[in-house]
Amino acid sequence: MTPMAALAGAHLAHRQTPGMLRLLTHPLFAAGALAMGVGELFGDKMKSAPDRTVFLGLLARVMSAGIAGAALSPRGRERTGGLLAIATAVPLAYLTLAGRKRVMRRIGQTRSGLIEDALIVAAGLAVVAGAVRR
């Protein structure tokens, strides 16, 4: 949900994405995306949280990455941007999960999750900030 939350935040800050982003231009959907992004940050720390590679986790990742990739792509190249984002997000789900599990054995679930979240949120904000305009 991080890509959607970052895009919603950019929209609420009156920034425009290069590609079409109709859904998050509605204040209700923007607020919902922000709430889901924050909820994911908290939910990920729970011991009962499923791996990101379960079907629904991957489906949410594919949808979020596809929408974000399309929105951040130049106009007319949204489909390519969405597909590229999906092709990046799915393998990264497996790679980051493997890395998280290794770190989690050393420092625990909560601390490893906080570090991972800080890195992902910073990266997401940097990508969105670099692509949007006033």
- The total of structural domains in the chain comes to 1
Of 119, 56, 59, 62, the C-alpha closest to 88 is 62
Q: Which residues of the chain have pLDDT under 50?
A: none
d(CA 33, CA 55): 20
Tell whether pTM > 0.75.
Answer: yes
> pLDDT at position 69, please?
93
pLDDT given at position 66: 94
Q: Which domain holds residue 31?
A: 2-131
pLDDT for position 109: 85
Question: What would the pLDDT profile of 66-94 be if each residue is shown by its tens digit?
Answer: 999 999 999 899 999 999 999 999 999 99
pLDDT at 30: 87
pLDDT at 58: 95
